[in-house]
Chain A
Amino acid sequence: MSPTFILKLALEKGLNLISITDHNAIQHSLLACQISQKEDIKVIPGAELTSREEVHLLAYFTDISSLIELGAFIDRLLPNIENKPKFFGYQVIYDDTGEIIDLDNRLRQSAMNISLDQLITEIHRLNGMAIPAHIDKNKFSLISQLGFLDQNAAFDAVEVSKYKWNKDKYHLGDTLLGFPVICGSDSHHPDDIGLFYVETEHDELISYSSLNQYLQEKRDKK
């Protein structure tokens, strides 16, 4: 899915704030942020990183310069293995008109050579939020890889799957073992966009900085 197409669908569905978090890649998140400046939608710069433990960790930033720094960091720590499109599909790169302009030949499915704890430290150094992704899933999650959620971990929040969010009737501001819970649509297909979203009555939360501050306040309450 091209960032242009994602933004178009998100606008059609009436979403106000989104983030594109590709696996160990930043180009499309950057592009979405740039395109969104002309549109009536906010985009948080982000990525979904894989730590050495094969835990998926979401990283969100206040500005694109931090995401660019993260990109350089990924380039250093992701093994230089060539993608096998037969198994993993083509990793295409789009431009702002939605045209494919290049192929990314470096396998993005692999894990970065850095521990989860060090990765959190690095994200915090860039003033970002570090949030383990879909912790209830049985693949590549904090729980599947590392067994349980450590209450002393430095996460800013935890993300649950939309299935758990709905089943447990979560609302923005709720916590799990002291961590604020968030949820994304985890859209991998155009049809997914807009099917799931988190609602808030507080319009001011529709920005990275106020959302970050809100989550920190919830986090501090434990």
Chain B
Amino acid sequence: MKLSEIITRCALEKVVFCSDDEITTGYCGDLMSDVIANAASSSIWITIQAHKNSIAVALIKDIRAIIFSNNVEINQELVEKAREEEINLLRSEKNSFQISGLLYQLLEDCSDKD
């Protein structure tokens, strides 16, 4: 599913939107060591860990977009780093459980159609 469609259907706030990538799966986690070990490529990552290291983790794992849940505060340094490295940053007032549920349903339905 295209990222733009996910953004619309999950009502996500666009913090940095730089490329409308194809998203095939997702991962949810706040320990970056765990995300590095387990996240899949071409994925979307849901986390509350709004630290600039998240951009490097996304690059390492070919994660195309990060959703910051719980409306966490995102500092300017993180935003600039995301622009520089072309990682999409999104935000939601929903918590990680709620977004994961929504997104799982969306991506499952999408793969059923294929």
Which residues of A does B touch, CB under 8 Å?
53, 115-117, 138, 143-148, 150
How many positions in chain B have a CB within 8 Å of any CB in the partner chain? 13
Chain B residue contacts of A145, Cβ below 8 A: 30-33, 49
Q: How far is the CA of A74 from the CA of B33 in the complex (A)?
A: 27
Is B33 in contact with A147, judged by CB distance below 8 angstroms?
Answer: yes
Verify A147–B75 contact, CB threshold 8 A: no
Q: How far is the CA of A116 from the CA of B53 in the complex (A)?
A: 12
How far, in angstroms, from A210 to B27 measured CA to CA in the complex?
47
- The CA-CA distance from A146 to B50 in the complex, in Å, is 10
Residues from chain A with Cβ under 8 Å of B53 in the complex: 146-148, 150
Cβ of B56 within 8 Å of any chain A Cβ, yes or no, is: yes
The verdict on B57 contacting chain A, using a C-beta distance below 8 Å, is yes
Would A115 and B57 count as touching, CB distance under 8 A? no
Q: Is the CB of A138 within 8 A of B33?
A: yes
Bound-state CA distance A115–B76 (Å) is 13
Chain B residues in the interface with A (C-beta under 8 A): 30-33, 35-36, 49, 51-53, 56-57, 75
Q: Which of B30, B32, B35, B75 has the most CB of A within 10 A?
A: B32
A144→B31 contact, CB < 8 A: yes
Q: Distance (Å) between the CB of B62 and the closest chain A CB?
A: 15
B56→A148 contact, CB < 8 A: yes
A115→B51 CA distance, assembly (Å): 8
Highest count of chain A CB atoms <10 Å: which of B31, B35, B49: B31
Please report the C-alpha to C-alpha distance between residue A148 and residue B35 in the assembled complex, in whole angstroms.
12
Q: A53-B51, A115-B51 are in contact. Are A146 and B32 (CB under 8 A)?
A: yes
- Give Cα A143–Cα B57 distance, bound, in whole angstroms: 12
Q: Which residues of A contact B57 (CB under 8 A)?
A: 147
A150 to chain B: which residues have CB within 8 Å? 52-53, 56
User: Whole-angstrom distance between the alpha carbons of A199 and B56 in the complex?
Assistant: 37
> Please, which residues of chain B bring their CB within 8 A of the CB of A148?
32, 53, 56
Give the chain A neighbours of B30 by CB distance below 8 A.
145
Q: Which residues of B contact A115 (CB under 8 A)?
A: 51, 75
- The 22 listed contacts between A and B (C-beta, < 8 Å) are A115-B51, A115-B75, A116-B51, A143-B33, A144-B31, A144-B32, A144-B33, A145-B30, A145-B31, A145-B33, A145-B49, A146-B51, A146-B53, A147-B33, A147-B35, A147-B36, A147-B56, A147-B57, A148-B32, A148-B56, A150-B52, A150-B56
